[in-house]
């Protein structure tokens, strides 16, 4: 392994999640500059780090609030933030009950795509005597959640505007299916603008012009300004980046701030080395990279993790002359950083190769 102070690394249990703070700073500054330049509000998704300390860093760098996917994330992020968007349908008594118990200083907004979910939310908001904002979730081609037609969006927006306890604030969508690297995305970005305009125009004609139009994803991050009418973006992965961000053209390899420190535990099978980072440390997520694999070495990106068992990662040595010894330390960049972070208890923070601190990943679970 290259420029790292290995003395402290040998004291910690591998696999361990490392975060390079210099790279985090650079990643945050880049998105802060971009959103400022284009007049977009920045509401990072905290599901990537699940750690209040990193949410605080995002807010200090200029974020206007945070996005969460679970009530646990909302509870944890409320420790450091007064403006929380739950980008997830708030369905179920337990979920709604805890959501209403967030500190009253928190400006809460919820995305939803059904009148049922709206009615439940309204009932809980009135019981808790708080005002909850609502964004209508739009289906923009990913076919996961969201209303498919402007008429359906209008029904929910109208209901939101007339429900006591609820404040209609706008629309939201997630086009997570768009990931073509390079210039191939141009026509998709235009199509997104056109589809979005259908919704916004219908709502505006009926006096329900959305104040907030919230979108964006990490693969399309730097082209968010091409989506006409967008007011806010919610990138998550961008704080750390991962192998998929690089494959999608969203960042360079040296913008990867997260890696899993691992120990080589076996070299008995020729052509490969086995590390102690398996699917329970890296997550078994198919990548965008056509060469396959579940990750690659930070210091030797030509060495891929070609196979994963629960506690074994198989390094493919076919494209390198490097032959690791048993006991050697390596750092792996996973395909999907959010899924990997979620498997760890803490993040070890590093600056200039030296240990700085560890943060507990407190927003795991639900």
For its own copies, give the closer residue by CB, 35 or 362. 362
- Rounded to 5 degrees, φ, ψ at 257 are -95, -15
Q: Closest distance between its own copies and the C-beta of residue 15, in Å?
A: 6
- Is residue 309 near its own copies by the rule CB under 8 A? yes
For its own copies, give the closer residue by CB, 185 or 314. 314
- Is residue 323 near its own copies by the rule CB under 8 A? no
Binding residue (CB under 8 A) for its own copies from 32, 161, 339, 360: 339
Q: Closest distance between its own copies and the C-beta of residue 279, in Å?
A: 6
- Is residue 272 near its own copies by the rule CB under 8 A? yes
- How far apart are the C-alpha atoms of 345 and 362, rounded to whole Å? 8
Binding residue (CB under 8 A) for its own copies from 4, 61, 69, 251: 69
For its own copies, give the closer residue by CB, 84 or 283. 283
- Is residue 158 near its own copies by the rule CB under 8 A? no
- Residue count (the chain): 366
- Is residue 193 near its own copies by the rule CB under 8 A? no
- Is residue 113 near its own copies by the rule CB under 8 A? yes
- Is residue 232 near its own copies by the rule CB under 8 A? no
- Is residue 148 near its own copies by the rule CB under 8 A? yes
For its own copies, give the closer residue by CB, 40 or 343. 343
Say what the alpha-carbon torsion angle 211, 62, 145, 135 is, to the nearest 10 degrees: -30
Region for 142 from its dihedrals, namely left if φ exceeds 0, alpha if ψ lies in -120 to 50, beta otherwise: alpha
- Is residue 2 near its own copies by the rule CB under 8 A? no
Binding residue (CB under 8 A) for its own copies from 176, 229, 301, 353: 176
Cβ(262)–Cβ(276) below 8 Å: yes
- Is residue 269 near its own copies by the rule CB under 8 A? yes
Token pair belonging to 352: 């200039």
The sheet with strand 83-86 has its strands ordered as: 41-42, 232-233, 212-215, 166-173, 132-138, 107-112, 83-86, 66-68
Binding residue (CB under 8 A) for its own copies from 338, 347, 349, 363: 338
Cβ(148)–Cβ(199) below 8 Å: no
- Rounded to 5 degrees, φ, ψ at 317 are -95, 15
Binding range to its own copies, per CB under 8 A, among 246-254, 272-280, 315-323, 351-359: 272-280
Binding range to its own copies, per CB under 8 A, among 191-199, 242-250, 277-285, 350-358: 277-285
Report how far apart, in Å, the C-alpha atoms of 316 and of each of 14, 16, 190, 295, 325 are.
20, 21, 40, 11, 14
- How far apart are the C-alpha atoms of 108 and 5, rounded to whole Å? 43
Binding range to its own copies, per CB under 8 A, among 59-67, 70-78, 185-193, 199-207: 70-78
Across 248-292, where does the E strand assignment appear? 258-266, 272-275
Residue 74 contacts by C-beta under 8 Å, 6 or more apart in sequence? 68, 84, 86, 99, 102, 108
- How far apart are the C-alpha atoms of 238 and 313, rounded to whole Å? 25
- Is residue 39 near its own copies by the rule CB under 8 A? no
For its own copies, give the closer residue by CB, 146 or 293. 146
Report the interface residues with its own copies, using CB under 8 A.
10-16, 47, 69-72, 88-89, 91-95, 98, 113-114, 116-117, 120, 137, 139, 143-148, 152, 176, 263-269, 272, 274, 276, 279-281, 283-286, 307, 309-312, 314, 325-327, 338-339, 342-345, 364-366
């Amino acid at each position: 392994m290259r420029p790292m102070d290995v003395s402290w690394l040998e004291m910690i249990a591998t696999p361990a999640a490392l975060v390079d703070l210099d790279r985090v700073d650079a990643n945050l500054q880049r998105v802060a500059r971009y959103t400022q330049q284009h007049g977009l509000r920045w509401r990072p998704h905290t599901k990537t780090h699940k750690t209040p300390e990193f949410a605080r860093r995002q807010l200090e760098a200029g974020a206007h609030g945070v996005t969460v996917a679970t009530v646990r994330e909302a509870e944890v992020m409320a420790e450091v933030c007064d403006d929380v968007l739950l980008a997830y349908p708030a369905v179920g008594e337990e979920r709604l009950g805890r959501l209403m118990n967030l500190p009253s200083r928190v400006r809460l907004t919820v995305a939803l795509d059904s009148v049922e979910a709206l009615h439940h939310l309204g009932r809980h908001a009135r019981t808790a005597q708080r005002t909850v904002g609502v964004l209508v979730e739009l289906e923009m081609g990913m076919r996961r959640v969201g209303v498919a037609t402007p008429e359906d969006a209008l029904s929910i927006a109208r209901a939101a505007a007339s429900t006591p306890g609820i404040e209609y604030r706008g629309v939201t969508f997630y086009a997570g299916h768009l990931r073509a690297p390079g210039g191939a995305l141009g026509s998709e970005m235009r199509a997104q603008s056109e589809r979005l305009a259908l919704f916004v125009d219908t709502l505006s004609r009926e006096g329900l012009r959305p104040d907030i139009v919230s979108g964006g994803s990490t693969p399309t991050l730097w082209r968010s300004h091409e989506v006409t009418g967008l007011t806010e973006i919610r990138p998550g992965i961008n704080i750390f980046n991962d192998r998929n961000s690089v494959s999608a053209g969203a960042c360079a390899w040296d913008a990867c701030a997260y890696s899993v420190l691992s120990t080589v535990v076996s070299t008995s099978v020729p052509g490969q080395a086995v590390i102690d980072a398996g699917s329970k440390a890296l997550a078994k997520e198919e990548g965008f990279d056509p060469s396959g694999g579940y990750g690659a070495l930070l210091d030797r990106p030509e060495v891929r993790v070609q196979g994963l068992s629960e506690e074994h990662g198989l390094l493919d040595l076919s494209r390198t002359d490097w032959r690791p010894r048993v006991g050697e330390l390596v750092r792996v960049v996973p395909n999907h950083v959010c899924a990997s972070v979620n498997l760890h208890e803490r993040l070890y923070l590093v600056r200039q190769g030296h240990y700085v601190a560890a943060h507990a990943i407190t927003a795991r679970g639900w």
